């Protein structure tokens, strides 16, 4: 029997290839952003030199970037991010708390899957914002209505992704774990959840994208805080530089959140060839 660990040389080659790929990724990322900024700058300049559109010059790149310190000093940026972040976080937490357990039951029980499939597919197809009048009627606070909208929009990707992940799991793993004395709780925490963590985080990533898209229009209605409200307020006061700064903030936060989720998906993926 000859059992030797893999050679170190191969690992070195792999590391240098990975470093090369990372450097190329960073370069392309920066280049893409520069092109976008250049197009925006050019568009802003064209607007500012035309007398007919001059009053909208605030939409340009430079006025937008220079408005950030002012927004920060006024505390508008922080309070808008905090209010939206709280609603998004609560909505996502509720979606995960409901979506993951139901997804696991769907994945494990054919009967439950068959019973629930039509109802869930029906509810999933209802536009989240169309729940708004009902949410306002049911919940006393606007905040709660928005959290409800985010939760109902994001629960489906989490639920279906969890169920699909469990359906792909090798049933022999459960048999092996049972054979080695796993209790139902150990089966859940040490076998099921690690086996499907990739699918759960993929579902959360999809859900976060949907939640972020739902959050802003939901905040345009009724509430007096948050990024959506800040955009509405800037439009009404004709502060176009503030408006664009808020739009830019939404884009940046959405991108950062998605990147964090992608990193989590990569971190918890045990599938070879993913990432």
Partner 1 sequence: MSIRGVNISIKGLGYRYSSRGNPTFSNLMLESPRGEALAIIGRSGCGKSTLLHIIAGLNRPTEGTMHFDDKKIEGPSSRWVMMFQAPHLFPWMKVSQNVGVGLGFAGWPEKEKAERVAEALKLVELSDYADTNVQDLSGGQQQRVALARSLVMEPELLLLDEPFSALDAFTRASLQRDVRSIAKRLGFNLIIVTHDIDEAILMADRALIMAGAPGKIVHEFEVNLTDPRQRQDPAVQSMRARLMDAFHTAAQVAGSPAEKAEAETASEPA
Q: List contacts with partner 1 (CB under 8 A).
A: 1, 3-6, 170, 172-173, 175-183, 186, 190-191, 194-195, 197, 270-272
Q: How far is the CB of 145 from partner 1 (least distance, A)?
A: 40
Nearer to partner 1, 25 or 194 (CB): 194
Nearer to partner 1, 22 or 190 (CB): 190
Q: How far apart are the first and last CA of the chain?
A: 35
Nearer to partner 1, 182 or 253 (CB): 182
Nearer to partner 1, 45 or 173 (CB): 173
The answer to whether residues 195 and 107 touch, using CB atoms and an 8 Å cutoff, is no
Give 174-235 as a DSSP string.
HHHHHHTT--HHHIIIIIIHHHHHHHHHHHHHHHHHHHHHHHHHHHTSS-SSSHHHHHHHHH
Q: How far is the CB of 202 from partner 1 (least distance, A)?
A: 15
Look-up of token digits 């579902």: 203
**CA 140 to CA 27: how far, in whole Å?**
50
Q: How far is the CB of 182 from partner 1 (least distance, A)?
A: 5
**CA 38 to CA 24: how far, in whole Å?**
21
Which of 46, 41, 82, 73 has the alpha carbon at shortest distance from 244? 41
Q: How far is the CB of 181 from partner 1 (least distance, A)?
A: 4
Q: How far is the CB of 272 from partner 1 (least distance, A)?
A: 6
**CA 238 to CA 232: how far, in whole Å?**
10
Nearer to partner 1, 177 or 247 (CB): 177
């Amino acid at each position: 029997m000859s059992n030797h660990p893999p050679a170190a040389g191969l690992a070195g080659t792999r590391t240098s290839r990975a470093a090369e790929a990372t450097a190329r990724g960073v370069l392309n990322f920066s280049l893409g952003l520069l092109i976008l900024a250049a197009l925006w700058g050019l568009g802003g300049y064209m607007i500012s030199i035309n007398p007919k559109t001059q009053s909208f010059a605030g939409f340009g790149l430079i006025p937008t970037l220079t408005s950030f310190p002012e927004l920060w000093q006024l505390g508008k940026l922080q309070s808008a991010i905090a209010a939206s972040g709280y609603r998004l976080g609560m909505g996502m937490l509720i979606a995960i708390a409901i979506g993951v357990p139901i997804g696991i039951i769907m994945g494990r029980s054919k009967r439950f899957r068959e019973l629930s499939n039509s109802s869930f597919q029906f509810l999933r197809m209802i536009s989240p914002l169309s729940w708004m009048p009902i949410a306002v009627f049911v919940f006393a606070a606007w905040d709660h209505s928005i959290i409800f909208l985010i939760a109902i929009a994001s629960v489906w990707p989490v639920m279906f992704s969890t169920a699909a992940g469990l359906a792909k799991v090798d049933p022999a793993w459960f048999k092996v774990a049972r054979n080695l004395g796993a209790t139902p709780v150990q089966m859940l925490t040490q076998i099921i959840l690690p086996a499907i963590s990739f699918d759960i985080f993929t579902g959360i990533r999809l859900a976060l994208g949907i939640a972020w898209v739902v959050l802003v229009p939901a905040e345009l209605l009724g509430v007096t805080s948050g990024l959506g409200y800040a955009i509405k307020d800037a439009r009404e006061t004709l502060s176009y530089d503030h408006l664009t700064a808020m739009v830019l903030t939404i884009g940046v936060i959405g991108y950062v959140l998605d990147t964090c989720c992608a990193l989590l998906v990569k971190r918890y993926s045990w599938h070879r060839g993913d990432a």
